[in-house]
Amino acid sequence: MTERLADWTIGTEAIIYQSCRACGKVQYFRRAFCAACGAPDPVEQRASGAGTIYATSLVCRAATPETRAHVPYNIVLVDAAEGFRMMAHGDNDLTIGDVVTASYRSFAGRLVPYFAKTR
C-alpha cells in the first residue's frame, strides 16, 4: 500500500484521486484496490483542481444549526480534468458545463473544496 496523501477530507488543501497501475482506471473514493479490476495499490495523485460542472443544487433548507448558518450554499458535482467525478461546493451562479477551478473554504467547521469559474 502506498502512503496516503493528505486531502481536504482530513483538512489539507488538496484533492487526491487514485489511478490503477494495472488497468489505468481512475477513482475518487479512496480504496486499497482498484474498484474496476481489483488490482491492489492504486497510485495516489494530486488533482489539478480543474474541472467542468456536471450538476448543481442550491441548498436552501439545511438540517443542522452549523450548516443552516451557510444557506443558501451550492452543492456541485464536478467532472475533474483527470477523469473522476467529485462533490464539492461552488459559486451560487454556476451552471452545467461551466469550466471551473478549485479553491478551499471553511464550511460548518470543516475545510471543503470550492469551485468558481476559471478566469
Partner 1 sequence: MSFITGVGLTPYGKHEGSSSLDLMSKAAELAIADAGLKRSEVDGVLCGYSTVSPHIMLATVFAEHFGIQPSYAHAVQVGGATGLAMTMLAHHLVDAGVARHVLVVGGENRLTGQSRDASIQALAQVGHPDYEVSLGPTIPAYYGLVASRYMHEYGVTEEDLAEFAVLMRTHALTHPGAQFHDPITVADVMASRPVAMPLKLLDCCPVSDGGAAFVVSREPTRASRIRVRGCAQAHTHQHVTAAPALSELGAEIAIAKATAASGIAISDVRYAAVYDSFTITLAMLLEDLGLAGRGEAAARVRAGYFGRDGTVPLNTHGGLLSYGHCGVGGAMAHLVETHLQMTGRAGPRQVRDASVALLHGDGGVLSSHVSMFLERVR
The binding site for partner 1 (CB under 8 A) comprises: 9, 28-30, 54-64, 67, 70, 72-73, 75-77, 85-89, 96, 107-108, 110, 112
CB of 97 to partner 1, least distance (A): 8
- Closer Cβ to partner 1, 21 or 30, answer by number: 30
- Beta strand 85-90 with 110-117 is parallel
- Closer Cβ to partner 1, 67 or 101, answer by number: 67
CB of 54 to partner 1, least distance (A): 7
- Closer Cβ to partner 1, 46 or 110, answer by number: 110
Beta-bridged to residue 79, according to DSSP, are 52, 85
Report d(CA 2, CA 73) in Å as an integer.
35
CB of 6 to partner 1, least distance (A): 13
- Closer Cβ to partner 1, 39 or 75, answer by number: 75
Residue type for 41, please? D
Tell me how crowded residue 85 is: count the other CB atoms within 10 A of its CB: 12
Report d(CA 96, CA 62) in Å as an integer.
23
- Beta strand 85-90 with 73-80 is antiparallel
